[in-house]
Protein backbone atom coordinates (compact mmCIF):
# COMPACT_ATOMS: atom_id res chain seq x y z
CA UNK A 1 0.00 0.00 0.00
CA UNK A 2 1.82 3.17 -1.18
CA UNK A 3 -0.12 5.48 1.17
CA UNK A 4 0.63 3.29 4.20
CA UNK A 5 4.31 3.34 3.21
CA UNK A 6 4.26 7.14 3.05
CA UNK A 7 2.68 7.28 6.52
CA UNK A 8 5.42 5.03 7.91
CA UNK A 9 8.16 6.95 6.10
CA UNK A 10 7.06 10.40 7.27
CA UNK A 11 6.29 9.15 10.79
CA UNK A 12 10.05 8.62 10.92
CA UNK A 13 11.10 11.39 8.55
CA UNK A 14 9.42 14.41 10.10
CA UNK A 15 10.71 13.98 13.69
CA UNK A 16 14.16 13.58 12.10
CA UNK A 17 13.92 17.24 11.08
CA UNK A 18 13.67 18.24 14.74
CA UNK A 19 16.52 15.92 15.71
CA UNK A 20 18.71 17.91 13.30
CA UNK A 21 17.53 21.44 14.17
CA UNK A 22 17.13 21.22 17.98
CA UNK A 23 20.93 21.07 18.58
CA UNK A 24 21.16 24.24 16.46
CA UNK A 25 18.67 25.90 18.82
CA UNK A 26 21.00 25.10 21.71
CA UNK A 27 23.99 26.58 19.88
CA UNK A 28 22.11 29.80 19.13
CA UNK A 29 20.97 30.15 22.75
CA UNK A 30 24.46 29.49 24.07
CA UNK A 31 26.06 31.92 21.61
CA UNK A 32 23.74 34.81 22.47
CA UNK A 33 24.03 34.06 26.19
CA UNK A 34 27.83 33.83 26.14
CA UNK A 35 28.58 36.94 24.10
CA UNK A 36 25.91 39.12 25.74
CA UNK A 37 26.88 37.84 29.21
CA UNK A 38 23.27 37.28 30.30
CA UNK A 39 20.66 34.56 30.44
CA UNK A 40 18.28 34.26 27.48
CA UNK A 41 15.03 36.16 28.04
CA UNK A 42 12.29 34.03 29.67
CA UNK A 43 14.52 30.97 29.82
CA UNK A 44 11.78 28.80 31.33
CA UNK A 45 9.58 29.48 28.31
CA UNK A 46 12.45 28.35 26.05
CA UNK A 47 12.50 24.96 27.80
CA UNK A 48 8.72 24.68 27.63
CA UNK A 49 8.80 25.62 23.92
CA UNK A 50 11.36 22.88 23.29
CA UNK A 51 9.13 20.30 24.99
CA UNK A 52 6.14 21.48 22.96
CA UNK A 53 8.16 21.24 19.74
CA UNK A 54 9.22 17.70 20.58
CA UNK A 55 5.65 16.58 21.28
CA UNK A 56 3.88 18.44 18.46
CA UNK A 57 6.61 17.54 15.96
CA UNK A 58 5.88 13.85 16.48
CA UNK A 59 2.23 14.21 15.48
CA UNK A 60 2.24 16.17 12.24
CA UNK A 61 3.87 13.78 9.76
CA UNK A 62 0.93 13.68 7.33
CA UNK A 63 1.33 17.32 6.29
CA UNK A 64 3.87 15.92 3.82
CA UNK A 65 1.20 13.85 2.08
CA UNK A 66 -1.86 16.09 1.80
CA UNK A 67 -2.14 15.19 -1.89
CA UNK A 68 -2.65 11.42 -1.47
CA UNK A 69 -6.39 11.76 -0.83
CA UNK A 70 -6.61 12.15 2.95
CA UNK A 71 -10.07 12.71 4.43
CA UNK A 72 -11.12 16.29 5.18
CA UNK A 73 -11.14 15.70 8.95
CA UNK A 74 -7.63 14.24 8.80
CA UNK A 75 -6.32 17.20 6.80
CA UNK A 76 -8.03 19.61 9.22
CA UNK A 77 -6.29 17.97 12.19
CA UNK A 78 -2.82 17.98 10.62
CA UNK A 79 -3.29 21.58 9.42
CA UNK A 80 -4.25 22.76 12.91
CA UNK A 81 -1.46 20.95 14.75
CA UNK A 82 1.17 21.97 12.19
CA UNK A 83 0.20 25.64 12.55
CA UNK A 84 0.35 25.22 16.35
CA UNK A 85 4.08 24.48 15.99
CA UNK A 86 4.57 28.15 15.07
CA UNK A 87 3.71 29.13 18.68
CA UNK A 88 6.67 27.50 20.51
CA UNK A 89 8.93 28.27 17.56
CA UNK A 90 7.86 31.92 17.55
CA UNK A 91 8.47 32.05 21.31
CA UNK A 92 12.07 30.94 20.83
CA UNK A 93 12.73 33.39 17.98
CA UNK A 94 11.15 36.28 19.95
CA UNK A 95 13.28 35.51 23.02
CA UNK A 96 16.45 35.28 20.92
CA UNK A 97 15.74 38.62 19.25
CA UNK A 98 14.95 40.35 22.55
CA UNK A 99 18.05 38.91 24.22
CA UNK A 100 20.20 40.20 21.34
CA UNK A 101 18.62 43.64 20.91
CA UNK A 102 19.37 44.79 24.45
CA UNK A 103 23.13 44.78 23.84
CA UNK A 104 25.76 47.16 22.52
CA UNK A 105 26.03 47.48 18.74
CA UNK A 106 29.66 46.37 19.08
CA UNK A 107 28.33 42.87 19.69
CA UNK A 108 27.42 42.74 16.00
CA UNK A 109 31.13 42.93 15.11
CA UNK A 110 31.65 39.42 16.48
CA UNK A 111 31.50 37.00 13.56
CA UNK A 112 29.75 34.31 15.59
CA UNK A 113 26.97 36.81 16.35
CA UNK A 114 26.77 37.65 12.64
CA UNK A 115 26.06 33.98 11.95
CA UNK A 116 23.42 33.97 14.69
CA UNK A 117 21.70 37.02 13.15
CA UNK A 118 21.75 35.28 9.76
CA UNK A 119 20.22 32.20 11.40
CA UNK A 120 17.42 34.30 12.89
CA UNK A 121 16.78 35.92 9.50
CA UNK A 122 16.65 32.70 7.50
CA UNK A 123 14.80 30.73 10.17
CA UNK A 124 12.13 33.42 10.55
CA UNK A 125 11.60 33.60 6.79
CA UNK A 126 11.54 29.81 6.49
CA UNK A 127 9.12 29.53 9.39
CA UNK A 128 6.70 31.99 7.80
CA UNK A 129 6.64 29.93 4.60
CA UNK A 130 6.04 26.86 6.76
CA UNK A 131 2.81 28.39 8.08
CA UNK A 132 1.66 28.83 4.47
CA UNK A 133 2.51 25.23 3.59
CA UNK A 134 0.81 23.96 6.75
CA UNK A 135 -2.56 24.89 5.30
CA UNK A 136 -3.75 21.84 3.39
CA UNK A 137 -5.70 23.93 0.86
CA UNK A 138 -2.58 25.95 -0.02
CA UNK A 139 -0.34 22.92 0.03
CA UNK A 140 -2.42 21.18 -2.64
CA UNK A 141 -1.19 23.86 -5.06
CA UNK A 142 2.36 24.23 -3.72
CA UNK A 143 3.12 20.57 -3.01
CA UNK A 144 6.24 19.30 -4.83
CA UNK A 145 7.16 22.78 -6.08
CA UNK A 146 10.29 24.83 -5.45
CA UNK A 147 8.39 26.63 -2.67
CA UNK A 148 8.80 23.49 -0.56
CA UNK A 149 12.50 23.33 -1.43
CA UNK A 150 12.94 26.98 -0.39
CA UNK A 151 11.09 26.39 2.90
CA UNK A 152 13.15 23.30 3.72
CA UNK A 153 16.47 24.97 2.99
CA UNK A 154 15.73 28.17 4.91
CA UNK A 155 14.52 26.28 7.99
CA UNK A 156 16.65 23.15 8.22
CA UNK A 157 19.55 23.06 5.79
CA UNK A 158 20.69 26.64 6.33
CA UNK A 159 19.63 26.61 9.97
CA UNK A 160 21.84 23.63 10.80
CA UNK A 161 24.82 24.77 8.70
CA UNK A 162 24.72 28.38 9.92
CA UNK A 163 24.53 27.20 13.54
CA UNK A 164 27.51 24.90 12.84
CA UNK A 165 29.62 27.79 11.51
CA UNK A 166 28.64 29.91 14.51
CA UNK A 167 29.55 27.09 16.89
CA UNK A 168 33.02 26.66 15.35
CA UNK A 169 33.89 30.23 16.30
CA UNK A 170 32.03 30.03 19.61
CA UNK A 171 33.70 26.84 20.88
CA UNK A 172 37.10 27.85 19.56
CA UNK A 173 36.83 30.77 21.97
CA UNK A 174 35.39 28.72 24.86
CA UNK A 175 37.65 25.66 24.63
CA UNK A 176 40.91 27.02 23.21
CA UNK A 177 40.61 30.70 24.28
CA UNK A 178 41.30 31.68 20.68
CA UNK A 179 38.98 34.26 19.15
CA UNK A 180 38.53 33.87 15.39
CA UNK A 181 35.86 36.57 15.17
CA UNK A 182 38.05 39.34 13.82
CA UNK A 183 40.13 37.33 11.36
CA UNK A 184 39.60 38.74 7.88
CA UNK A 185 39.08 35.23 6.47
CA UNK A 186 36.18 34.46 8.83
CA UNK A 187 34.54 37.82 8.11
CA UNK A 188 34.95 37.26 4.35
CA UNK A 189 33.53 33.75 4.70
CA UNK A 190 30.45 35.12 6.47
CA UNK A 191 29.67 37.82 3.92
CA UNK A 192 30.31 35.48 0.99
CA UNK A 193 27.96 32.90 2.52
CA UNK A 194 25.38 35.58 3.36
CA UNK A 195 25.20 36.80 -0.24
CA UNK A 196 25.31 33.29 -1.71
CA UNK A 197 22.54 32.00 0.57
CA UNK A 198 20.13 34.81 -0.24
CA UNK A 199 20.88 34.78 -3.97
CA UNK A 200 20.51 31.01 -4.23
CA UNK A 201 17.43 30.27 -2.17
CA UNK A 202 15.32 33.45 -2.12
CA UNK A 203 14.32 33.20 -5.83
CA UNK A 204 13.03 29.68 -5.16
CA UNK A 205 10.08 31.19 -3.27
CA UNK A 206 8.96 33.08 -6.35
CA UNK A 207 9.61 30.11 -8.65
CA UNK A 208 7.65 27.81 -6.37
CA UNK A 209 4.76 30.22 -5.95
CA UNK A 210 4.52 30.16 -9.73
CA UNK A 211 4.30 26.35 -9.35
CA UNK A 212 7.64 25.41 -10.86
CA UNK A 213 7.80 21.65 -10.18
CA UNK A 214 10.38 20.31 -7.79
CA UNK A 215 11.21 17.37 -10.04
CA UNK A 216 10.92 17.07 -13.81
CA UNK A 217 10.63 13.64 -15.45
CA UNK A 218 13.18 13.18 -18.21
CA UNK A 219 14.50 10.47 -20.49
CA UNK A 220 18.06 9.50 -21.30
CA UNK A 221 19.77 11.01 -24.33
CA UNK A 222 19.84 7.75 -26.28
CA UNK A 223 16.04 7.92 -26.60
CA UNK A 224 16.19 11.36 -28.20
CA UNK A 225 16.03 11.31 -31.99
pLDDT of residue 85: 93
Compute CA 58 distance to the chain's CA centroid, rounded to the nearest angstrom: 17
Rg, C-alpha atoms of the chain: 20
Is 145 in a helix, a strand, or coil? strand
Spell out the domains of the chain, with CATH numbers in brackets. Answer: 2-215 (1.20.210.10)
For the CA atoms of 197, 126, 20, 92, what is the dihedral angle to 10 degrees? 120
| 130, 155 contact by CB (below 8 A) | yes
For residue 111, what pLDDT is reported?
A: 83
Q: Which residues of the chain have pLDDT under 70?
A: 105-106, 225
Q: What pLDDT digit, counting tens, does each position of 189-201 carry?
A: 899 999 999 999 9
Give the predicted TM-score (pTM) of the model.
Answer: 0.88
Q: In the prediction, which pLDDT does 105 show?
A: 63
Q: What's the pLDDT score for residue 222? A: 76
Round to the nearest angstrom and report the end-to-end CA distance of the chain: 38
Other beta carbons within 10 angstroms of residue 52's beta carbon come to 17
Amino acid sequence: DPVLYQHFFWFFGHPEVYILIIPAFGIISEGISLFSQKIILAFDSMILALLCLSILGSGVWAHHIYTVGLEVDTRAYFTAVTIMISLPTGTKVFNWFCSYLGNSMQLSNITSIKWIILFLLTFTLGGSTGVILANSATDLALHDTYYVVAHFHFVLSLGAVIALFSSLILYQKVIFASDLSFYSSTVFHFFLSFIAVLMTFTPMHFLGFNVMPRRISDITDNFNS
